[in-house]
Structure 1
């Protein structure tokens, strides 16, 4: 499933979390616009009392995403972009948990986030500051497609700087299908091994030459059962064996497809091909 999983305790639709190569502390997170997400972080030395938690985003300059000091929030120096949208996952900071909750994310939330904590030593005057976490956050626009059973839907996905690289692997999946995929393309050909049976002979890339990085999926003769959340993932160089190099993959597009019966409101077009709406606000 493109290294994507559902989280059961918060209302996320999709989330991808990977450790960045060469760093134990940097985490890459990909999520969908409109969701409430958690940036996970735990203080390295959780035995000492944490008296200050600072979350910043490096590209925003002055202003905190969140500043928590002496048991309460300090709003004075918070960047206005984060006003009323952030909180600590655990204000008690149990076991050093200083994870940040970021609500109603948009593509404008994409960036590098850093967490710093200040702890108190045995001496009440002793203070220690540590850089605890670095998180690279990528928020994808939410693409909504509404269509009627029997039509053809195009699920959009575009990969910057792809340039028809023959080593690129493309996987389209749906969140509820488990290990089976919708469409898998490797070595410049379709691989049917793990394709879900409901998509047999109904899907293809819009352009197998992938001109201008276009890896959009054509889904023919859609049915009610095609409703769901689709994900487009790209495995770049180094992914020699599918499903064996998930850290080399990148989630590029998330598409929500809703199919209704003929006669119901849905999104019909005169030519029978369904376009899409991008639901994201900057």
Structure 2
């Protein structure tokens, strides 16, 4: 009878060993790894382990009615305990406290039972497997990295979205533009009113109190206030551009100014440490500053950069060319000091596809075109007055 009972128990246990239980736990929670054997035999050995940690220690080790903490892996010290210390009804489940992403893995519950009636050497060994997955709200930004000593370490990956950077910049630039342009028009109105008073005044002393050079300086300052916000607005805008794989694409960039372009840098944020897309300084380009993937594939649309056209032609585009390109321009007034210059940036988001797409871009509305043309006219007038 005992032999028949033993055979039945062994058959049930063997069937259970082929199953694997999948459970999920939230980061920081306590999770129960369930394991139970239905037998009246004495549990002589209980080993909770994980395959990737076997060489360093067990999750939990029990033998001959006592727990051996010195056999335990350091990462589980003080975090694992039996749900029922007396293991009634064969319950050998363990509670794992404060789970982390490093606790993810396949756990094995290995049990050795012995029949007290039979020989001490006669025993049965059973294994049960549990696949634990740890999830949490921050799991999308974290990954496990294997360190030099074989342990797994949690690393947080931070992503910076382009729209989170561009939108605040556009709003800030727009606010600055409204304030500065309003102040500029107020100053212009005051200047014209003061000039009219000088022209209509009969008193020569009143006319001499504000000489013409002073008026010209004020006019130049007002025009400069109007020009700077436009430059900042153009720096905050980003153009969207699509190109078909293998095509030649033009990255448009133009500055409306009579000042001389001293430096031109076409770059891409993810390639800045390795080189530029195109680098120009003091009337010549520097190929040795160029990233290797762009050698022989980029050129200026207008080598003379007439009318401030610094657009770039990129030949035979590939999927690796997709990204956000920055056109950075430094202009200098030849009449003023060499140290006085203006820097402007323009951004283009290039997308490379395998299908035919129409090129899309943002067109400056009519009132902005008029404002830019008026700025150019005032800038030319400034040079003549200076």
TM range (shorter): 0.3 to 0.5
Q: Which structure is higher in RCO with an 8 Å CA cutoff and minimum separation 6?
A: 1
TM-score in terms of structure 2 length? 0.34
More helix, by proportion: 2
